[in-house]
Amino acid sequence: MTRLQSLVVLAAALLVFLALLFGVREASRWRAVNQPELAPDRWAMQELQRIDALQLPAAGNASDFTRWFPTSPVVIWSYVFS
């Protein structure tokens, strides 16, 4: 294979890679846009469950725990269930 043919193959491979990268990016943006928004109470419950699943106090990350819960969890629960 000559040097010119090698460059053409390399350029074609680069174009295919860039097209795939662009396609994956657009597909992920489309999926993110088409997700319906949750009601505020459902969103809050989902966030509380996500934070609870981190198990920060049990892992010894108390500073991370206080960062995620700037107020008492009891106050947050009272807003969700009131």
Query: Are 44 and 79 a contacting pair, CB within 8 Å?
Result: yes
**Domain-by-domain residue ranges, the chain?**
1-35, 40-80
- At 35 the pLDDT is 67
Higher pLDDT, 51 or 12: 12
Top mean pLDDT of 22-31, 51-60, 62-71 is at 22-31
Per-residue pLDDT of 27-41, as tens digits, reads 888 776 666 788 989
Q: How far apart are CA 6 and CA 30, in angstroms?
A: 36
- At 70 the pLDDT is 57
Query: Are 41 and 80 a contacting pair, CB within 8 Å?
Result: yes
- At 32 the pLDDT is 65
